[in-house]
Amino acid sequence: MGAYTVCLDLSLGLASPALGLIAGGTGLGSVYLASTLVVISGAMISLRLMYAPARVGLAPFAPMTCARGLASFAPMTCAWGLPHSRR
């Protein structure tokens, strides 16, 4: 919920003045064009994220523990090629 609030605050705080500058410089019609481009860009990003292949693991460099108890920060590897587990 906090991330939503931050994004909403940023969009209201930045988009309104930016669209006001666009409208003042080139007219009201360009505000609709700029808004359309932003919406299409957002839809394309959403579709890309929706159809992106799933990543394995929690984070790319999350600490892992090898079978011998030694920590490794390399992604999906473990010293001596032993199986690893995340803590």
Q: What would the pLDDT profile of 28-70 be if each residue is shown by its tens digit?
A: 999 999 999 999 999 999 999 898 887 665 555 555 555 555 5
Same domain? For 42 and 64 the reply is no
- Rg (C-alpha) for the chain, rounded Å, is 23
Phi/psi of residue 60, nearest 5 degrees = -60, -30
Same domain? For 40 and 66 the reply is no
| Domain interval for residue 12 | 2-50
- Report residue 18's pLDDT band, with 50, 70 and 90 as the boundaries: very high
Same domain? For 19 and 44 the reply is yes
Number of folded domains in the chain?
Answer: 2
Same domain? For 66 and 37 the reply is no
Same domain? For 6 and 44 the reply is yes
pTM attached to this predicted model: 0.54
Run of H or E including 66 = strand 64-66
Cβ neighbours around 64 below 10 Å, total: 21
Same domain? For 32 and 10 the reply is yes
